[in-house]
Structure 1
Amino acid sequence: MSTVKLLVASNNAKKLVELEQVLRELGIEGVELISLHDAPSYPEPAETGLSFAENALIKARAGAVATGLPCVADDSGLTVVALNEMPGVLSARWSGAHGDDKANNRLLLAQMEDINVRGAAFVSCCALVTPDGEETTAEGRWEGTLLREPRGENGFGYDPLFAPADAPGRSSAELTAEEKNARSHRGKALRELAPAIAALRG
């Protein structure tokens, strides 16, 4: 069985590690993950999609076209029932500045201050695009509720505000990396995508 190189179109090293763990967990060998740092540089595409799937495909298509490698990318965020599933695709820039976690969390808490319906979910869509244009997507959801104040030091983004339904009494930011990977939306999506990744080996 041949080894195939797979570009992971993310600057977040934790996402590459998470995919490595999923492939190892499922016994999938012969896939060499390539980070953006180790691939030829190319312009980062604008995430103009209106859904997680659209944005994941935009990123995966750009990586496959630019490098000639099969490419996996994800788009993920927090959906809140009382906000009509927002922040959604705007999660990383909810407060206006992209990636300002503390500002995003403050704004979300302020918007939800007087609201008792606290249902929320982390959603991830992972996309795999090959150089010949074959596309596969998979979605994972992690259900829970929105806390009224941040808790925990682990994780990033909205983790301190998210109380997973499958980890009672703790926020996502109070879970270990192993506990989070076993439960998370991205982990679920990657496990669903794994058979398509395995098929790349020919």
Structure 2
Amino acid sequence: MELCFATNNQHKLEEVSAWLGDAFQLKTLSDIGCTDELPETTGTIPGNSRQKADYVWINFGVSCFADDSGLEVESLNGEPGVDSAFYSGSRDAANNIKKLLTNLEGETNRKARFITVFTLLLHGIEHQFEGIVEGQILLEPRGAGGFGYDPVFLPDGHDRTFAEMSIQEKNAISHRSRALTKMVAYLKEQVFS
């Protein structure tokens, strides 16, 4: 089955490709001729995920899925949330982390969670799948792997940040993998039933 993953983020593409297996032929936005910046203007993570998938389906007529993710910090009333990628005003991960740590200075409650919502549009029919991982924000970054806030996010029950884990270790517990597991199970049920 051919599916388009509505992203230009190479890191996400690598993570998702590892999950899909041979039953699915994954296409990128460039594979389907989409060079547009996908809209993300709804103000919510589920809404942005839906908006991106809708854009691909409406404009290219391709079964697709899109995701949106965010880091929600309890003591910051859920910030950076839907604005995680542009928290500092740019897509620069180091600047986003710096702003986050500055905003948390002196804060003892460092509880946070990553959330991902995948929206699947299969022949125009919508399905959404959510994944969450709880954790803490560290005082300073650790590790060179991963992307985004991975160097400062310590998942509950672990002693290494996402940035200190291999992609396989992170995939076993991440918010994206939890949502993706649900979506892949649904897709396999549709393809093989």
Identify whether the pair has TM-score above 0.5, normalized to the shorter chain.
yes
Say if 2:164 is the partner of 1:174. yes
Structure 1 residues not aligned, in runs of 5+: none
1:156 is matched with which residue: 142, 147, 171? 147
Unaligned runs of 5+ in 2: none
Q: Cα distance 1:43–1:37, how it changes in 2: closer, same or farther (>3 A)? A: closer
Match of 1:128 in 2: 120
Q: Is the contact made by 2:29 and 2:35 (CA closer than 8 Å) also made in structure 1? A: no
- Equivalent of residue 83 in structure 1, options 73, 76, 94: 76
Task: Check if 1:146 corresponds to 2:137.
Answer: yes
- TM-aligned CA deviation for residue 40 of structure 1: 1.4
TM-score under structure 1 normalisation?
Answer: 0.89
> Under a length normalisation based on structure 2, what TM-score does the superposition of the two structures give?
0.93
**Hey, which bits of structure 1, 4+ residues long, moved more than 3 A?**
199-202
The RMSD of aligned alpha carbons is 1.5
CA distance in 2, matches of 1:200, 1:37: 26
**Count of aligned residue pairs for this structure pair:** 192
Structure 2 counterparts to residues 1-202 of structure 1, below 5 A: 4-24=1-21, 29-97=22-90, 99-131=91-123, 133-167=124-158, 169-199=159-189, 201=191
Opposite residue 156 of structure 1, the aligned amino acid is F
Q: Distance in 1 between matches of 2:95 and 2:16?
A: 29
* C-alpha distance in 2 between matches for 1:192 and 1:62: 23
Matched residues, percent identical? Answer: 39
CA contact (8 A) 2:15 2:167 kept: no
